[in-house]
A and B are shown apart, each in its own frame.
Chain A
Amino acid sequence: MVSKSFGRILLEDVVRMTNVSQTSHVGGCLSCLDIVNVLFNNVINIDSKKPKSKNRDRFILSKGHTSAVIYSALANKGFFPVKWLRTFFENGTKLPGHIDHKVPGVEFSTGSLGHGLSVGLGMAMSMRNKKIKSKVYVLLSDGEMNSGSTVEAIMFAGHHKINNLICIVDKNQFQALGKTDDIINLNPLSKKWESFGWNAYDIDGHNTSEIKTALLSAKKNSQKPSVLVCNTVKGKGLKDFEGRLMSHYRPPSDDQLNDFMEGLELIR
């Protein structure tokens, strides 16, 4: 099972990277980990030997603060040496805390929320005009649904039926100051997207087969842009962090890291 082992590598990397650098945002890395796993392993067409190939799929991480999981995915896909991961967040590193386009394989830098969907939309519009058959995938947080700029992109893509744009919402139900439902409740979220002309899937964001099925179905939809609303658990995998706001801030402790690694050994 190639998929599972890739997922496990991501898990180990992300927990280790945030532990070693003692930095935040492990929670949001873990909530989208299964999505990134399926996407990078089974769906997206990218090649470390031809990173600028015109026919590649494009991926934009709009929730740029969870860069660790993408750095891990790209390193393990051969875009740069895995040993770079150890320099995450260090002075003079090639891997800044928010995702950066200077890192091989990264299409776009983000870090301010609400930018990624518009940029992916622009790429998709150009690709459609040039008859490039690939897709643009944009991974958003549910907190980004607060941003008007995201709504602007949703409205425009719906109106112009930009069907090569696939958005994935990591609905981990937390944003920086609390529960998304308490800050601006947008449930049922998929209905909001549908009202703007999007093809919406509402799925379990930790069920790899559901994710895969939805992504493959979205790729085939030729009428509308698609969105996968992925219901996820923030901090998934780290017992004390699951579904808790502090997973947005606190780095995994050495004990947590050790327990976690032992747990992984037991399970798989």
Chain B
Amino acid sequence: MSELFAKKLLEDVVRMTSEAKTSHVGGCLSCLDIISVLFTEVINIDKKNPNSKNRDRFILSKGHTAAIIYSALANKGFFSRKWLSTFIQDGTKLPGHIDHKVPGVEFSTGSLGHGLSVGLGMALSMRYNNIKSNVYVLVSDGEMNTGSTWEAIMFAAHHKVDNLICIVDKNKIQSFGETKDIINLDPLYEKWETYGWNTYDIDGHNHSEIKKAFIDSKKYSKKPSVIICNTIKGKGIKDFEGRLISHYRPPSEDQLNDILKGI
């Protein structure tokens, strides 16, 4: 199921960024497999009941990769797939950074380092109100530079907010270069462990590994969980894989056609 969904996401994301001639396809593709598994097999959301109190909450903290979430939500029926072709057009409902006015989107982001704190607040309230669902927050590895992310990490661990599940899309590239050259935090999972989180370190493109980590982390109590997903920026577009340009350059028509053929 997740494999099929992944193909839809791939097609949409490459088409959206190519047609709009816009950036950030690289970071969409690195988290594509994570989103596929999350939205098909893990997260409990329902377009008919989008504000159901028992829904799982999902926050995209790396808000610049909005395209993939818009695609996931459209394919889940939260809004018309036609909207996707209006991505970042004048007067669009779908801005370049994820926006809470879009049906199914819990929170707007775009400045890095905000999402985990917000998810933490939701999770605290849900715990207090005995809501059994989880909060999933997807952060980038670049966001690990940000002090505010660490503020949330420290607080969540201290209060053992175990309904909070953070996913790090560790695609190893941030906007100015390789993450390890800017502020090397490897081994990253050790940092989270030192700070009191239940930690998974997995291949972020292997659906069964992703699924297993999600299921395990949902069951885990006593600590918040983090799933560090080792991924490849630009995964799927050959010339973009593992390259900084995938953060900026939109896919060309040829690249789009290659992807469509492959699917």
Q: Residues on A close to B: CB < 8 A?
A: 146-152, 155-156, 159, 183-186, 191-192, 195-196
Is the Cβ of A147 less than 8 Å from the Cβ of B151?
A: yes
Given contacts A155-B183, A196-B191, 17 further A-B contacts (CB under 8 A): A146-B154, A147-B147, A148-B148, A148-B149, A148-B151, A149-B147, A152-B145, A152-B146, A152-B150, A155-B185, A156-B183, A159-B182, A159-B184, A184-B154, A185-B158, A191-B194, A195-B191
User: What mask results when residues 40 to 53 of chain B are scored 1 for a CB within 8 Å of chain A, else 0?
Assistant: 00000000000000
A142 to B: closest C-beta gap in Å: 12
20 of the cross-chain contacts (CB-CB < 8 Å) are: A147-B151, A148-B146, A148-B147, A148-B149, A148-B150, A151-B147, A151-B150, A151-B151, A152-B145, A152-B150, A155-B183, A156-B183, A159-B184, A183-B158, A184-B154, A184-B155, A185-B158, A186-B154, A192-B194, A195-B190
CA distance A184 to B145 in the complex (A): 20
B222 to A: closest C-beta gap in Å: 14
CA distance A185 to B150 in the complex (A): 13
Is the Cβ of A159 less than 8 Å from the Cβ of B151?
A: no
Interface size on B, residues (CB 8 A): 18
Interface positions of B from 64 to 120, Cβ below 8 Å from A = none
CA distance A155 to B190 in the complex (A): 14
* A149, A151, A159, A186 interface centre (most CB from chain B within 10 Å): A151
CA distance A186 to B158 in the complex (A): 8
CA distance A156 to B154 in the complex (A): 18
A-B contact count (CB 8 A): 40
At the interface, yes or no: B5 with Cβ under 8 Å from chain A? no
A189 to B: closest C-beta gap in Å: 11
Q: Residues on B close to A: CB < 8 A?
A: 145-151, 154-155, 158, 182-185, 190-191, 194-195
CA distance A149 to B146 in the complex (A): 8
**A191 partner residues in chain B, CB cutoff 8 A:** 194
Is the Cβ of B147 less than 8 Å from the Cβ of A152?
A: yes
Q: From DSSP, what is the main secondary structure of chain A's interface residues?
A: helix
**B158 partner residues in chain A, CB cutoff 8 A:** 183-185
B224 to A: closest C-beta gap in Å: 14
CA distance A130 to B195 in the complex (A): 36
Is the Cβ of A159 less than 8 Å from the Cβ of B149?
A: no
CA distance A191 to B194 in the complex (A): 8
Q: Which chain A residue has the least Cβ–Cβ distance from B196?
A: A185
CA distance A183 to B147 in the complex (A): 18
A223 to B: closest C-beta gap in Å: 15
A147 to B: closest C-beta gap in Å: 7
CB-CB nearest 6 A-B residue pairs: A148-B147, A151-B150, A152-B147, A148-B151, A195-B194, A184-B158
Is the Cβ of B195 less than 8 Å from the Cβ of A192?
A: yes
CA distance A192 to B191 in the complex (A): 8
**B155 partner residues in chain A, CB cutoff 8 A:** 184
Q: Which chain B residue has the least Cβ–Cβ distance from A160?
A: B183
**B146 partner residues in chain A, CB cutoff 8 A:** 148, 152
**B154 partner residues in chain A, CB cutoff 8 A:** 146, 184, 186
**A185 partner residues in chain B, CB cutoff 8 A:** 158
Is the Cβ of B195 less than 8 Å from the Cβ of A146?
A: no
A165 to B: closest C-beta gap in Å: 16
CA distance A159 to B185 in the complex (A): 8
CA distance A255 to B29 in the complex (A): 70
Is the Cβ of A155 less than 8 Å from the Cβ of B151?
A: no
Q: Which chain B residue has the least Cβ–Cβ distance from A153?
A: B147
**A151 partner residues in chain B, CB cutoff 8 A:** 147, 150-151
Q: Which chain A residue has the least Cβ–Cβ distance from B154?
A: A184
